[in-house]
């Protein structure tokens, strides 16, 4: 049995407003798009600020606020799709920078939207097996660095990092997980070049069937396909999480899902008939921060009093991969 012992997040200092983006995207009605997806401002990392920089700052905040020490950590999991280097693993970099003992294990996972929940599942397994007692789960992504300057998705995405200690005791008991993968949809959210399959930038672009510009060298997202995937799989995942944790829908006090965008979240809520007052939707000042949205949402809900002692909270992540995962937390 594992528990979330402490949780914190960090947002970069640089804030980009809708008004600023209107100047950068003169052919787009930024205000209209931003209203539909629920974003007014987003935090963006500096040009020389990486995912590991953000994650280290989140971890330092967690240590300062919780009293947990780097020397208490015996395993590090770093979740990012934007690593500092091809090699070595970003987890090794943060272990060293945080002064975590060299006796600790460290590994990186490269998942985005579902990454925090997958990382929590791995940490839960480490605790259950006795391999670790205090796992530091870090998330950090810098998705705006991969967007073309004219990409309308600049309105949606922001950047952040989170730090979570998973332990043998804590503030929230971790329940049983439901997860899935459909790699046949990988092409719907992808950066084609830069990896070993297509290492060289091509400069090529084309128009997809939805009228979106598809550029080999930048993030491409087929929004309608991601939307269809989400509304198809998330309701089934919700039912599976309830079943695996032997709960009924009315037993859940609050839901914190991946903050993809306001329109998608509200559609999922209506399909699954979740009461509005039990459902977290807040991208206003962060945007979609990829693997960070669930931990950021948890902290926001705790600080606002929507999650309190005794609350049973469902968390889910879904998106790039395509992948999905969820579980229950009991505070």
What pLDDT does residue 34 have?
95
Report the CATH number that the domain containing residue 113 is assigned in CATH.
Answer: 3.40.47.10
Q: How many CA atoms lie within 13 A of 323 on its CB side?
A: 17
Q: Where are the beta strands (DSSP E) in 2-99?
A: 3-10, 15-17, 41-43, 75-79
In the chain the first and final C-alpha atoms are separated, in Å, by 14
Q: Which of 134, 258, 261, 291 is catalytic?
A: 258
Q: Which of 79, 288, 291, 292 is catalytic?
A: 288
Q: Which of 41, 79, 113, 280 is catalytic?
A: 113
Range of the domain at 199: 178-330
Q: Are residues 21 and 56 in the same domain?
A: yes
In total, the chain counts a number of residues equal to 331
Domain total of the chain: 2
What pLDDT does residue 313 have?
98
One pLDDT digit (tens) per residue for the chain, 331 residues: 999 999 999 999 999 999 999 999 999 999 999 999 999 999 999 999 999 999 999 999 999 999 999 999 999 999 999 999 999 999 999 999 999 999 999 999 999 999 999 999 999 999 999 999 999 999 999 999 999 999 999 999 999 999 999 999 999 999 999 999 999 999 999 998 888 899 999 888 888 877 778 888 888 888 889 999 999 999 999 999 999 999 999 999 999 999 999 999 999 999 999 999 999 999 999 999 999 999 999 999 999 999 999 999 999 999 999 999 999 999 9
Q: Are residues 157 and 203 in the same domain?
A: no
- Give the torsion through C-alpha atoms of 303, 304, 310, 313, to 10 deg: -90
Report the C-alpha gap between 152 and 220 in whole angstroms.
11
Radius of gyration of the chain measured on its C-alpha atoms: 19
Q: Is 288 one of the catalytic residues?
A: yes
What pLDDT does residue 212 have?
78
SS (H, E, C) 161-222: EEEEEEECCCCEEECCCEEEECHHHHHHEECCCCCCCCCCCCCCEEECCCCCEEECCCCEEC
Q: Are residues 153 and 41 in the same domain?
A: yes
Which H or E element spans position 266? helix 262-272
Q: Are residues 61 and 210 in the same domain?
A: no
What the block records as the tokens of 331 is: 């505070």
What the block records as the tokens of 168 is: 């043998």
């Amino acid at each position: 049995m594992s528990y979330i012992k402490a949780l914190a997040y960090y947002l970069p200092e640089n804030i980009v407003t809708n008004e600023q983006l209107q100047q950068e995207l003169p052919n787009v009605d930024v205000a209209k798009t931003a209203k539909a997806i629920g974003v007014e401002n987003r935090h963006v990392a500096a040009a020389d600020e990486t995912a590991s920089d953000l994650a280290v700052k989140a971890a330092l905040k967690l240590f300062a606020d919780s009293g947990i020490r780097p020397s208490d950590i015996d395993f590090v999991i770093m979740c990012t799709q934007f690593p500092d280097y091809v090699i070595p693993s970003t987890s090794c970099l943060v272990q060293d920078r945080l002064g975590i003992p060299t006796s600790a294990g460290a590994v990186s996972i490269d998942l985005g939207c579902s990454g925090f929940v997958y990382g929590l599942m791995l940490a839960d397994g480490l605790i259950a097996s006795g391999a670790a007692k205090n796992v530091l789960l870090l998330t950090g992504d810098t998705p705006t660095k991969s967007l073309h300057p004219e990409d309308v998705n600049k309105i949606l995405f922001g950047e952040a990092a989170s730090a979570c200690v998973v332990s043998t005791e804590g503030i929230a008991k971790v329940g049983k997980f439901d997860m899935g993968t459909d790699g046949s949809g990988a092409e719907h959210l992808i950066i084609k070049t830069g990896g070993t399959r297509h290492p060289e930038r091509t400069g090529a672009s084309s128009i997809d069937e939805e009228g979106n510009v598809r550029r080999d060298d930048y993030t491409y997202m087929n929004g309608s396909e991601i939307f269809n995937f989400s509304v198809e799989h998330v309701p089934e995942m919700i039912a599976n999480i309830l079943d695996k944790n032997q709960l009924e829908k009315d037993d859940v006090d609050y839901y914190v899902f991946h903050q993809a965008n306001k329109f998608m979240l509200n559609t999922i809520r209506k399909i699954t008939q979740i009461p509005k007052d039990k459902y977290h939707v807040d991208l206003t000042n962060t945007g979609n921060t990829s693997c960070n949205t669930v931990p950021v949402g948890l902290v926001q809900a705790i600080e606002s009093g929507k999650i309190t002692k005794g609350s049973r909270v469902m968390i889910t992540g879904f998106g790039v991969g395509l992948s999905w995962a969820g579980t229950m937390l009991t505070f």
